[in-house]
Structure 1
Amino acid sequence: MRWALLLTVFLLPMAIPLSEGWAEDVGRDGAWVEWTAPERVYVHQNETVSTYITLHNKADENQAFTIEALSIPAPLTTVGLPATELLVPNHLKQIAFGIRAPLSATYETLTVSFSITSDLHPEFNETVEMSVAIVPRSNLNFGVDDFATFTVDELVRTAVAVNITNNASLSDDVTFNLYTDSDWSWGWNMPEVNGNEAYTTLAPDTLAYVYLWIEVPAVENGAPLAETGPRFILSAVSGLDMAVETWTFDLLMNEKKNATIDSIESALTVAPNQDGRVQAVVRNVGNTPNTLNITLQGLTASDNPLPNTPKADRFNSSGWVVALFGGLEDIVLQPNESRVIEIGFQAPNTFEGAMHVELQVFANGAATTVSTARTVATISRISAGEVEHEPSGCLAILPNESCTVSVDVLNTGNAYNTFVLREVGTTGGFEVNVPAGGQLVQANQGARFDDITITASADALAFTVGTTTIEVLDDTGQVVDSTTVEMKVAPQIKWSFRNVEEQVNAKGRLSIAMEVRNDGNAVDGLIVQLQSSHSVDMGFIPPDIAVYEEGVEFPRSFEVNDIPLNSNFTIRAWVQLPQDQSTNGTVYINTTIRSRFAPELPFVHTSEGDYLGLAWQPSEAVDEGIDWGGMANTAVAYVKAWSGVVFSILLASIILYKAVIDRQRRLDESQTLPYQETDKQAEDWMSQYQKEAVPGEQMTAPAAPLQEVPKATYEAMFRHQHGSAEAPQPQVDAGLISAASIVLDKRTEEAKKIKADAMLADLQSIEASAPLSANETLVASTSSSVPLPPNEDVHPPAVDDLEF
């Protein structure tokens, strides 16, 4: 037992991977001794830090090694030196000692050296140098407990965030690392990342967050078990003194219930009226102990459930008897534990026929995650096959072009069979042309079908992916196998120039504007370049979405990404044509665009700009001063040209002024009230009744009968004679009207009385009983007479006539 212990002590240093522990150390391998020591040591003010020198005695006898301080710059001091250790042959010894920095030490890096001597070999003297950095003290602290646990679900990316605070007095550049023994994928959600490390800078007394994500894998084969999971250690290394602050957390997997069918015999051949069994292996792939629910579902030849046959552990159909053996549901399976069950078939007494069965398994408590597998029992004959395909160019199909697929089929049944192909489930808008003919294949032999043609539509977009399933059917119409062909549309690069405008201004600058249209089938990007046949100033006017070199005054190239289909993109550029050439010439400017998908295929538009040599350029005008004579001639010409206009304006103004005065006078006269006017016949108010018959008065008959006049004609004649109706005058004061009415009524009443007395005297002096002889000759008119207008004072319309 003692020898075993000594052997362990002897071999343990050799078994430790020293290369990893000394990754940052320095050392030397000599003939008598091998030593190693840290290359760099960090010490704080008023602190003693422990360091070491490891010695390996390679001699065949004992050696006493002494370590002494050789060079210790101020203000550093050593603690525990000199030190002497005795080493037996082939043994290791780590000699520890201290290096101290006082409180007043400044932050700097110093080099210290030590000597190693041996009592066995006086001439042996090795020098060990270390770099000692006097650094400020860091103080990083995570804002959570040292250990935490989280429960996670499968296939969920878990985000973890934790805060960290710099409680030191100086800014600290912190490096973060994450360590775990698991193979779970993880990464950082931080702006500064380099490989597996993340970085951030923390100012004094500030807080920052560390963001990372961990991809939780699926529960497979019962692992990870429920409430178990890997451990992660997040470390923060200070940039001040390389101090490490850690935080540990575990991710525990949540409960997952699931079951699967590992294997099942796909087919069984039985003789008529005989039985046989197929085996299936079911397994609990959840992460907790559980029982399984196992049932059988009879299927038709088209894989539909048999009518009137519910799923059960035993059923009869069409003379077949199918039963489940070893499918008890009270057997508890541990995670990833499996069991074997059997499906028995009892065939009817017929010469042909088949029974299709689907095995359905789910874990107790997870009825929605059903695992299924199908098998078939066939009487006498087994029909089976395998299919393989070999595509040719189907992952890069241009629009309206085709690729071919070769299909091979292998008859794995026990008799010859005729196989045909069928296409189902084509996606992506592809057209699949499957050969209509079949292939007669002997047992355990293969055959190749005519090529299948797959065509992409004419308007297919680039990178459109699709799949098509090619099924192999036997001579009974059953699907024996299928294969899936993947297709992809290749990008079609097509750009066109439209609406090209080129203009040269007076200063000799050629402006170019053109529209570039994406007529391809992909959302593409452009690399636009400008080239000239002459060395002239030129450049693009990049749009807002362009990417070009920063700091360039006149960019001659830029990039634009994500230009949609059938969209126009405007390119604007300018070129300063030469002004100092001795001869005339033409500048040729090439605007080249290249697709991001096919930069080797350029699209070029050439613009031309003609320029004049110095001898043909127009001379500039010479400033000869102010031409006073010319200005006088110009003034006289303006006066002659505008004199007639000014005279016409003055004459028209005088005429308009006279018209306004006359109009105002007539308006003042028209405002006189009717009772204020003196009517020459005011006393002869009975004259309006002259047409009535008066006794003793001799009346004469009209010379001709009355004529009917249309209403419209009468109104027109009335307006022609009397003018249009005058606009209503402003309303007169009611009191004034009342007073005038009283006076007028009084005079009218007296006048009527006088005239009535006179008429009465006249009537009494003549005979009024006899009718007039002229009335007997009147002819009655069949049409109605035109009514006369009332006897009212009609004011003529105001006419702006000129009275000179």
Structure 2
Amino acid sequence: MRRIVAILIATLVLPSISVSASDTPFDFFIDEEVVIHPDETVQFRIAWHNIVGDERHFAISLNNSDSNISVEDLPIDWTRVGSGRLGEMMINVTVLPNSNYETISFGLNITCQEVPDWSIIHDVDVIVSRWSNLNFGANDGSSFYVQQNVNTSLAVNISNNAGFDDLIKVRMNTNSNWQYGFVGDENNDDEVHIELDDGEYIFINFWIITPSIVDGAPLAGTGPTFTLEAESNLDKRVESWTFSLEMQTFHNMTVDIVDDNLSIEPGDDGRLEVTIRNNGNVDTYLDASLKLGNLNDDRIEAENWTVAIFNAFEFQSLEPNESRVIEIGFDAPNTNAGTFDVELIVMPQSFPQRASSVMISSVIDWQRSGTISTNNDNCSTVQWNQTCQQSIEIENTGNFFENFMLFVIDDSGMEFEITSEPIGLSKGSSASIPLNMTTFDGAEGLLPASATVQLKLESGELVDSISISSSTAPRVNWLWENAASSVTSNRLEVVVTMRNEGNTADGLIVRMSSSYFTEMSFIPPNNAIIEDGTINIRSFEVIDIEKGSNFTFRAWAEIPDDQNSNDEFYLNITAHSRLAEENPFYYSANTSFDAAAKTADEENSVVNSLTDFVATFFAIIWAWKWIIFATLVSALMINKSLRDRQSRLEYAALNKPPTDAQEQPEDWMAEFANKKQSIPEITESPQIPSEVFTGMFQAVGGERKPSAQPVDSQLVGAASTVLDHHDTMAVKTKLDDLASDIAEGEISKPHSANVALPDDIVPVTARTVPTPKNEPDVRDMLDLDDLDL
């Protein structure tokens, strides 16, 4: 149900197209005439197009026809054509043999089934013509080699063998854009009309302009195809002749792209790229060279310059329109200025008449630059009335030797001095130049100082600069201008006056200490800074004491009176500058005191100390009682476990069967050290003098006979020749006998037992198959040690 509803909705949504019955339903395409010969049947084409939105049906019938014409294969039913569809059909038109050479006609009536009021009547003229017979004097497939930019003239003859005079129309048909024309074409319509009598022949003269070879095209051996057509005025028949033009080989090289002039550093080298291209139409080898004056080579050395060609690949051919990038390398001399121009010549190999050249050059680019910097900052402050040396690092970042100058400008707060001599530096080198920084006489502490150091060329051109900043270091110098001590009422009292002799305002942090613990205190000046709520002041601070000013403070300490012996009592005062706390100032006052009287209670001090020691020892033991108990129990358990383990190991060693150590293959050399039998002792043989041994040997064998004289070599050669001759004759005799036996039929035959073995023999190989052995399953021994707790 839902599908039906969807179809209805879609039908309502679709736009409706209204078609009127009076609309033209078809477009028909039918020729106006047809050429035919007597007793000939030709096909006639009828095409149509349905130009309305619905399908239509049409019918074609013969309206009228001449008596000498027969029209066949017309459809007898309606022809269905869908909306917008195209179609065609072929009908056969025949002229009777006895028809005259005239123009006759037939008519077609076309109607539409859906539009009854619409119809078409189309008349076709039938031209009954004589037979034409035109023939070109050349066969199809002719080829002609041509060159570029040439007006090629061609001529071909055509003959009329029809038996009637004819008027022919000659034209050219081709897909190329090459220009062509006919001789005698007065109106420049690329056609020519020629009257040709029966049995006559005539030459058709025409020309074709070959274009220039551009980007390697047309290739050598290729070219367009032309068809020369001659249309007869008798029966409109067309006779054609097809030929092609093929381009000849053309070798050419061009320079397409050249980089800008090469800029290189002094003493450096670089390469400049040049793009060359085979602009011919055939594979070509490159021939590249450099020319300077009378020099012409692929490498030139002149004026301390070296120029060479790289990546020319002259043994690899370039295809038509193929490009290659070659490099021209320049090696410049180590000078700061110079230019070198050279001519690059490229041409196809063995074709110097088509050479191309271009000028290329290189120039030395002198880069002049430098940097200035500091290695460290060890002169951030300069001590009062002293000189500090700051190291200035300069570097030649240019590409050639350079002389630099240093200048100090905008200096203040201090004296800055640096050398004024030229500083020569080679490429990439550097030098350290000292900068002397001296404070002014009597300068205030912390006086800021700054200056700018400029790095310039000898010509005065500024290349770099750096700012230097520093200050005069504060000078800390406190003097104990007045200091006095006295003892009053068992107190050591001190009065101190300190004076700031430095070069800037300063402050002090004053502390006190004594050699014995006792009560003591400062009585600071009114402007001192002390800790709030402190009764006995052990330290205080004073600030902003101007240069040349002083301040006074007092201090006291109780002299000890409970010591067991006489001694010296010291009261030490330490003052630290706020500007230099690492350099303190010291003042010390001292006095002596007597020992205090001994009492009876002190005599029992030794006994009391021993009693306290014993009590403390037992208290410690009682506090650690459980830890000591646990340690003892653990020790007993571990001792018992170790003894049981040793017993099990001894028992297992007694029950274990003896086993031989497994011999390893690499231990075979050790077997030679195990002597399995005793080495026999060599019995010493008796010693006989050599004279006695010689006499005994001659007594048995006789005196030594002299050696025979060697036989003459010529005699040995003659004997060898005779023996070789006899051996050769013996071999020839055997060969003659063997040949005679073979000729008589006495040849060797196989032995009677030499027969073929049967094919069904099966070899027995079961006895060679090894029998697998089952390895015994040996269980691993249980290590009882793993059960130890």
Bin for the TM-score computed over the shorter chain: 0.3 to 0.5
- State TM-score, norm by structure 2: 0.42
| Bigger Rg, which one | 2
TM-score by length of 1: 0.41
